[in-house]
Structure 1
Amino acid sequence: MTSESAPQNEQGEQQAQQAQQAPDERSARAGRWRRPGPQQVPGPELGGRNAWRGDGGASFGELKKLPGRMSVRLRLTLLYGLLFFMAGALLLFVMSVLMANILGNVKVIGLGITDAEAAELQHQFVEQTMKQLVGRSLMALAGVGVITLVLGWFVADRALSPLQRVTTTARRLSESTLHERIALEGPDDEIKELADTFDAMLERLGQAFDSQRRFVANASHELRTPLAINRTLLEVALGDPEASDDLRTVGKTLLATNARHERLIEGLLLLARSERELTTRTPVDLAEVAATVLEHSARREHDNDVAVHRELTSGTALGDPVLLEHLVSNLVENAIKHNDADGGELWVRTGILDGYATIQVENTGPAVPAYEVERLFEPFRRLNADRVESAKGAGLGLSIVRSVVLAHRGAVYAVPRPGGGLIVTVRLQPG
């Protein structure tokens, strides 16, 4: 069973908590946001909203600028400029040698000029002419070199423009847009070969996703039907008033086993569906979703008595309403199942935190080592157990949460709670 308490105001809640709890527990149980811990799922950078852009809107310059390296465009431009200056310097050297030989054949003739004076005048003439020639040639080389660098910058950009189409398409692609192709036109060169190879890869990916969708649809029918038939037969047998006590005991055991198998199959199918990227996104208020999930949970029977504290503030996220409800439901059910048997508590918080639509679920319970937290997000994993065969579930709760968060391009964080339990925080793109 679960019980819920909704404080009228923050001051009244703090006073009640201070009266009931020891001083060393107040900080652990206070009704406020907990700062998220280590990120468990790759998601948006929390520094700005540009990190949410996954629709191909990013410029090609982001690809060409690698961390700690010069861009390809700049390297090509510098290469063009270096080659030009090397060729210009070589040409200037050859021209200077030829001009020096030509000027060396010039004879200075004049009345009253001795041979020594004529040689000195010739030397001065050659030196002055060569200085002017080299100086003006260097100025011309520098001016043309700058023009070459500018032209090289634009030529390099034009040469890389086909790669820009490949990059933009790759950034924009998702499961819902695998039908897109680059379809690059032009000469049959290396870049066109790259684009054609990329198109062929997209074709194979599209076929693989279609096959996966068909498998999920077929598995949903083929696996559910036998279990539904088994459940019906068991319920009919248990409803027979002449059934013996032994038969009823066996029937209830089989019915419970059948129910666990049904939950396992539903979890696996939900896990498969949630791993696909969303095709449409609508604004969803996380507070309304959490309230609905908590109401449904309160009507169900639970093995342990958990007090549920709501701290729901409107926080709109962009996503799929059904998947987000499953996300919150798995967080809540996981927090209830893995809680203290008596006197357990559960906090559910929603709202906008640091500019992101956020939901946080905090629960009491057994202590969770920090090194075990990441493993809890793996399928069929529970604390201190690899494969689970118990009434607490199949170990898919946090795996489903992670898949739904990935489908929404969000981030999920989990940290051990001081005093025992877990704090899970999910951040999603705001609506």
Structure 2
Amino acid sequence: MPVRARLTAVYGSLFFLTAGALVVINYFTVNKILYRRFTVRLPGAPLPDLPAGVPTGKAVLIQQFSKSELSGGDPGDTLFIRSVSDEVERFRQLVMDSMLQWSLLSTLLIGLFGLAVGWLVAKRALAPLHTVTETARTLSGSTLHERIALDGPRDEIRDLADTFDSMLERLDTAFDSQRRFVANASHELRTPLAINRALLQVSFADPDLPEQLRSVGAELLAANARQERLIDGLLLLAQTERELTTRESADLEDLAGAVVAAAPGHPQVRAHLAAAPVTGDPVLLERMIGNLVDNAAKYNDERGEVHVRSGADGAASFVTVENTGPVVAPDQVAVLFEPFRRLGGDRTGSARGAGLGLSIVRAVATAHGGTAEARPRPGGGLVVTVRLPRAPAGSPALAAPHGRAHDPGR
């Protein structure tokens, strides 16, 4: 139950209990007053003889007559006294019934009024918390500069809002530091590797070098290339884990078709594509599909089958890459999305890649508000499905897919 509803229930209950207590007190008070003694004067008529023990004179104490007292006198006198007593009793009962009815109705009205007042008071009291909540919901990597800046008296809610602003300040500083690190690392780490590659290529371009040195040079270039892929993959992973800065209309059918067409080294890839409109960064989406296709081709067996499918299902667009390969245990599927994890527990670099392929796939899917899931394929292999929010109807799709960039981290 929402806090506002609980507060309203508390306020309404207090009104009901207070009004109910007042009704009970009022009932017993009025009842006591009505049963007090009173006198009835009968002008111009002699008083009848009263039963023994009843005071005589011009004042008759009607309330104090019991049935035993009234039964001992003259029948006419008794009838007179009884008629007066009955009228008084009916009047008393009418007063009590009317008072009880109107008191209960007033209690109901006051309770409903208390509920309405409680609903409005709770709304006003919780308004600052709603402000904090809405600000937290709209936060992202690019809006951490926003602050709640709550006005009002210095109370617990104001302290909460100020504490939240302080936390946002620290997060903004941390995100800025991360962005600067990624930008600096992109230059500082790539540049030495590019220089090493150029030096190796120039040094081993001499045709007079012995064959043994040439084989060493090839191994050094391959190791340098693996380091470049590893660094590019780490930087791309860091980039995809932040908020997207580019959002365009795209179609997974076109992007997957471009990946398949640009994979001459994987002739076994078969495409079964249908329209799958999405909104996001087309370059990252194409790299995501490229990672899936490359991983499916690398971790294959002698059957060498890779199937790429795309389409739309309800509110989601999807792309699925299925391959033949070694049997994957169900408990190993989840860890394959962790960085540097491969089938069989290998966590070291190899010629197959840096072990970041599926990590980048999930990071790109998450950045686009989607999911990436995998399941073992019957007979061996893996089926990886990425689901992204479907673009609204009428959104213009890209006329042509982006050129496929080299995909790091495979």
TM norm. shorter chain > 0.5:
yes
Residue 119 of structure 1: which of 64, 67, 70 is its match?
Answer: 64
Alignment of 1:121-270 (within 5 A): 121=85, 125-270=91-236
TM normalised by structure 1 equals 0.79
Q: Report what 1:100 is aligned to.
A: 31
Contact 1:103–1:126 under 8 Å retained in 2? yes
Larger C-alpha radius of gyration, 1 or 2?
2
Q: Show CA shifts across 1:391-411 (max 9, x none).
A: 111110000001111111101
Q: Report what 1:109 is aligned to.
A: 40
Q: Report what 1:336 is aligned to.
A: 297
Unaligned runs of 5+ in 2: 55-60, 66-84, 392-410
Local SS of the residue matching 1:348: strand
Alignment of 1:306-317 (within 5 A): 307-317=268-278
Q: Show CA shifts across 1:37-68 (max 9, x none).
A: xxxxxxxxxxxxxxxxxxxxxxxxxxxxxxxx
Q: Distance in 2 between matches of 1:390 and 1:306?
A: 23
Q: Percent of aligned pairs with the same residue?
A: 54
Contact 1:314–1:351 under 8 Å retained in 2? yes
Local SS of the residue matching 1:297: coil
Please tell me whether residue 275 in structure 1 is matched to residue 241 in structure 2: yes
Q: Distance in 2 between matches of 1:280 and 1:248?
A: 44
Contact 1:280–1:320 under 8 Å retained in 2? yes
Local SS of the residue matching 1:376: helix
Q: Distance in 2 between matches of 1:178 and 1:106?
A: 79
Q: Distance in 2 between matches of 1:106 and 1:71?
A: 55
1:124 CA displacement: 5.3
Q: Report what 1:428 is aligned to.
A: 388
Unaligned runs of 5+ in 1: 1-69
Alignment of 1:381-396 (within 5 A): 381-396=341-356
Q: Report what 1:397 is aligned to.
A: 357
Moved more, 151-160 or 400-409: 151-160
Q: Distance in 1 between matches of 2:251 and 2:3?
A: 44
Q: Distance in 1 between matches of 2:275 and 2:305?
A: 23
Please tell me whether residue 353 in structure 1 is matched to residue 313 in structure 2: yes
Contact 2:16–2:110 under 8 Å retained in 1? no
Q: Distance in 1 between matches of 2:339 and 2:321?
A: 20
Q: Distance in 2 between matches of 1:310 and 1:142?
A: 71
Q: Show CA shifts across 1:80-128 (max 9, x none).
A: 0111111112222222333233333341425447558543636655444
Local SS of the residue matching 2:271: strand
Residue 409 of structure 1: which of 369, 384, 396 is its match?
Answer: 369
Q: Report what 2:340 is aligned to.
A: 380
Local SS of the residue matching 2:263: helix
1:335 CA displacement: 0.6
Counterpart residue identity of residue 307, structure 1: Q
Q: Report what 1:18 is aligned to.
A: none
Counterpart residue identity of residue 390, structure 1: S
Contact 1:306–1:339 under 8 Å retained in 2? no
Contact 2:35–2:63 under 8 Å retained in 1? no
**Larger relative contact order (CA 8 Å, sep ≥ 6):** 1
Q: Distance in 2 between matches of 1:333 and 1:296?
A: 11
1:385 CA displacement: 1.7
Cα distance change of structure 1 residues 140 and 106 upon mapping to structure 2, 3 Å threshold:
farther
Q: Distance in 2 between matches of 1:335 and 1:306?
A: 12
Q: Distance in 1 between matches of 2:330 and 2:267?
A: 24
Query: Matched residue pairs, number?
Result: 356
Q: Distance in 2 between matches of 1:321 and 1:422?
A: 25
Contact 1:362–1:421 under 8 Å retained in 2? yes
Moved more, 91-100 or 323-332: 91-100
Q: Distance in 2 between matches of 1:124 and 1:423?
A: 88
Local SS of the residue matching 2:350: coil
Q: Show CA shifts across 1:357-388 (max 9, x none).
A: 11111111111111111000000100112412
Counterpart residue identity of residue 202, structure 1: L
1:306 CA displacement: 5.3
1:130 CA displacement: 2.7
1:199 CA displacement: 1.3
Alignment of 1:49-88 (within 5 A): 70-88=1-19
Q: Report what 1:53 is aligned to.
A: none
Q: Distance in 1 between matches of 2:64 and 2:246?
A: 90
Local SS of the residue matching 1:232: helix
